[in-house]
Amino acid sequence: MIRVVGKSKVAQLTSDFDAGPSPRVLDVPASLLAMTQEWVLFTYAPLFLYGRLHHNPVQEYINEANISRDVVALLPLDVPLFGDLPQPWASLLWACKKEHWKGLSLHIGSLGLLDRDERTLTRVVYQEFQAPDIIARRTGKLQNFQLSAFGADCSHGYYLFLPAEDTLGLPRLVALGPEPTTVALASTLLEGEIASHDTFAALLGGGSNAQDQG
């Protein structure tokens, strides 16, 4: 799914395709590891913070798949899971029912965000790694759970998570220099004349489901 904004029309992205009620909010569990028996826990905070994400791809997927809003929920934690993210992102996870994860993860992972005004391109980096169960840690249990994360491959930088260095540490987001291929692709998309959505999608590698909101 490709989103294109420009000419100061970013507000157009908040439209019917991602409209919906406020997400369900889960209570803090006794253990994040135990929660992963039913849910996939994930974050896509880097796309908001650095990727110029201006719409809600989770609600968009719920609308397109015509499924219950209860299959995806917010999980606000009362302690930070990420040591270097600002709040609320440091203490916020999303949870998706396992049977719906494949569809949702493919939807978010295939996003391409082209911002004509800021002259940036963002693609998505998918990660899975072991993260500390910071809730169980308070009771003396040192255990990990599998966390899924969507980083940002941007024309202005590459943002991904590094797992915790030890059992008492926290995952952290690192900023690297931009990938040359992403910079070159951004230049092609921003400077060239794209004849059609299909051509644009082929260049970006996100399929033919492209929508221009500019």
pLDDT tens sequence across 148-167: 999 999 999 999 999 998 87
| Residue 110 or residue 198, greater confidence | 110
Q: Which of 154, 156, 165 is nearest to 125 (CA)?
A: 154
Is the CB of residue 3 less than 8 Å from the CB of residue 124?
no
pLDDT in tens, 80-125: 999 889 999 999 999 999 999 999 999 999 999 988 888 999 999 9
Domain boundaries along the sequence of the chain? 10-111+123-178
Q: Where are the alpha helices (DSSP H) in the chain?
A: 32-35, 45-49, 57-65, 98-109, 134-137, 180-191, 197-204
Contact 130, 17 (CB under 8 A): no
pLDDT confidence bin for 54, thresholds 50/70/90: confident
Q: How much is the pLDDT for 167?
A: 76
| Residue 88: count of CB within 10 angstroms of its CB | 12
pLDDT of residue 3: 63
The token pair that represents 118 in the structure block: 């800021």
State the burial class of residue 72 (Cβ atoms within 10 Å of its Cβ: 0-12, 13-18, 19+).
buried
The stretch 64-82 carries a mean pLDDT of: 93
User: Do 117 and 104 meet the contact criterion of CB atoms below 8 Å apart?
Assistant: no
pTM, full prediction: 0.84
How much is the pLDDT for 5?
Answer: 58
Cis peptide upstream of residue 163 (ω within 30 degrees of 0): no
Q: How confident is the model at residue 8 (pLDDT cuts 50, 70, 90)?
A: very low
